[in-house]
Amino acid sequence: MSTERFKDRIAYITGAGSGIGQATAKQFAADGAKVFAVDVNGAGVSETISAIRAAGGVADGGVCDVTSIASVQASVAAAVGAFGGLNILVNAAGVGGFQRFEDLDAAQWHRVISVNLTGPFNTTKLALAHLLQRKGNNIVNVASTAGMRGQAYAAHYAASKAGLVNFTRSIALEFASRGLRANCVCPGGVMSPLLQHFVPREDFEPQLMAYCTPPVQHLMSQPEDVAREIAFLASDEAHMISGTALVADGGTLA
> pLDDT digit string (tens) for 167-225?
999 999 999 999 999 999 999 877 777 766 677 777 777 777 776 677 665 667 889 99
Instruction: Please measure the distance between the N-terminal and C-terminal CA atoms of the chain and give it in whole angstroms.
Output: 36
* pLDDT per residue as tens digits for the range 45-66: 999 999 999 999 999 999 999 9
Give the E-state strand segments of the chain in sequence order: 10-13, 34-39, 58-63, 88-91, 138-142, 181-187, 245-248
Q: Cα-Cα-Cα-Cα dihedral of 162, 227, 231, 94, to 10°?
A: 40
Furthest CA-CA distance within the chain: 53
What's residue 193's pLDDT? 73
User: Do the domain assignments include residue 45?
Assistant: yes
Mean pLDDT for the stretch of residues 143-156: 91
User: Do the domain assignments include residue 162?
Assistant: yes
CATH code (residue 228)? 3.40.50.720
Is the separation of the CB atoms in 152 and 206 below 8 Å? no
Q: Compute the mean pLDDT over every residue in the chain, rounded to the nearest whole number.
A: 92
Nearby residues of 72 by Cβ (< 8 Å), 6 or more positions away? 64, 65, 66, 122, 123, 125, 126
User: Do the domain assignments include residue 254?
Assistant: no
pTM given for the model: 0.92
What's residue 97's pLDDT? 85
User: Do the domain assignments include residue 197?
Assistant: yes
- By residue count, the chain amounts to 254
* Cα gap 226→42, rounded to integer Å: 23
Q: Name residue 63's beta-bridge partners.
A: 39
Q: Which domain does 156 fall in, by range?
A: 10-247
User: Do the domain assignments include residue 195?
Assistant: yes
CB count within 10 Å of CB 149 equals: 12
What's residue 1's pLDDT? 44
Closest CA to 9 of 90, 67, 68, 75: 90
What percent of the chain has a predicted confidence (pLDDT) above 70? 93
Domain tally for the chain?
Answer: 1
Higher pLDDT, 68 or 153: 68
What's residue 197's pLDDT? 63
User: Do the domain assignments include residue 2?
Assistant: no
**Options 12, 153, 157, 211, the catalytic residue:** 157
211 as an active site residue: the answer is: no
User: Do the domain assignments include residue 65?
Assistant: yes
User: Do the domain assignments include residue 253?
Assistant: no
What's residue 151's pLDDT? 86
